[in-house]
Amino acid sequence: MLFYVIRRLLYAVPITIGVTIVCFSLIHLAPGDPLSTVLPDNASPEVAAQIRAAYGFDKPLPIQYLVWLGNVAQGDFGVSVQSRRPVLGDVLPAVRNTMILAFAAVLLGFSFGILAGAVAGHVEGSLLDKAVTAFAITGVSVPHYWLGLVLVVVFAVNLGMLPAMGMGPGGQSGFTIDWAHLKHLILPAITLAVIPAGIIARSVRATVAEVRKREFVSALRAKGMPRPRIFLHVAKNAAPVVLAVSGLQFAQLLGGSILVEMVFSWPGTGFLMNSAIFTRDLPVLQGTILVLSLFFVLINLIVDVLQVVFDPRIKRA
């Protein structure tokens, strides 16, 4: 197992470097100049050159990339072009805020998705099954942005029950686990949870229905095993698939959602990336993507290890 984990960790290194190269290249392929957001339009060529050199944008791209990578390896993610704040100082609070939202969405989405999917898989073909399937398809299809706005209009503007935006009275710096702050979490968490709930419900339903048709389940039934015990066997056999799907969904949620975080002014990684993209703030964008890709790799690794724990055949394969 240890060798397996180490091998997977080593795989993460080229994956992460690959992500940074692709990200760096794509950013520079996009039209626009990072300094255009910083420099006034009539800055003289001399002033523009001076500022360009001060930001390090006067060097060839490969050199810029290698300098950045070298600094990152030493823990220095650079400073924001816009604010001149250290990138890591912006990225880490944003990751924390996104994690708060992601965990709330995981709690909602996964519990509903797994529960609804398991029930529907057990009563395959029934009205309940069809209702779960309809919900799952709707959940997967409904645009985040639209759903968020509708929830805001209904629950914040019309009913005045919940806040429309932000992380609470004190904002992110004063976020605590109390109702004054948690109520700010409800609408964005529901919005964010709908897609994973739909995906997980569909996957769990299909897997449970498929496992229930296997011969060993018939054998267990014929043996006279009580239904709750049979359910446990079915659940254990369905677990690797559910884990894989859930892991991917979890990783995606941790990546933040630009649209949901914009609608709710939630200062997470999606909000951060959105402003970094529009202001061509390359160090912030690269730093955020790097941190998020590390998260993605890490969560996939955890999921892979858990799958092995649940189903040792995977390790042998």
Residue from 119, 206, 235, 294 in contact with another protein (CB under 8 A): 119
87, 77 Cβ separation under 8 angstroms: yes
Q: For another protein, how many residues bind (rule: CB under 8 A)?
A: 62
197, 249 Cβ separation under 8 angstroms: no
- Tokens (6 digits) for 176: 């605590």
Is residue 301 at the binding interface for another protein, with CB under 8 A as the rule? no
Residue from 26, 134, 180, 219 in contact with another protein (CB under 8 A): 180
Of 9-17, 44-52, 61-69, 292-300, which part binds another protein (CB under 8 A)? 44-52
Is residue 153 at the binding interface for another protein, with CB under 8 A as the rule? yes
Is residue 163 at the binding interface for another protein, with CB under 8 A as the rule? yes
Is residue 55 at the binding interface for another protein, with CB under 8 A as the rule? yes
Q: Mask of contacts with another protein, 244-283, x by CB under 8 A?
A: ------------------xxxx-x---xx-xx--xxx---
Residue from 14, 29, 60, 84 in contact with another protein (CB under 8 A): 84
- Alpha-carbon distances, residue 152 vs 42, 78, 164, 184 (angstroms): 42, 37, 6, 11
Of 14-22, 62-70, 84-92, 236-244, which part binds another protein (CB under 8 A)? 84-92
Which residues, including other chains, have CB under 8 Å from residue 253's CB and lie 6 or more apart? 101, 102, 105, 106, 192, 196
Q: Mask of contacts with another protein, 13-42, x by CB under 8 A?
A: -----------------xxxx-xxxxxxxx
308, 1 Cβ separation under 8 angstroms: yes
Residues 95 and 255: their CA atoms lie apart, in Å, by 8
The nearest distance, CB 163 to another protein, in angstroms, is 6
Nearer to another protein, 204 or 308 (CB): 204
- b/e sequence 209-226, b meaning 16+ C-beta within 10 Å: bebbeeeebeebeeeeee
Is residue 176 at the binding interface for another protein, with CB under 8 A as the rule? no
Of 8-16, 68-76, 88-96, 247-255, which part binds another protein (CB under 8 A)? 88-96
Point out which residues bind another protein (CB under 8 A).
30-33, 35-45, 47-48, 50-51, 54-55, 82-86, 89-90, 93-94, 119, 128, 149, 152-154, 156-157, 160, 163-167, 171-173, 178-180, 262-265, 267, 271-272, 274-275, 278-280
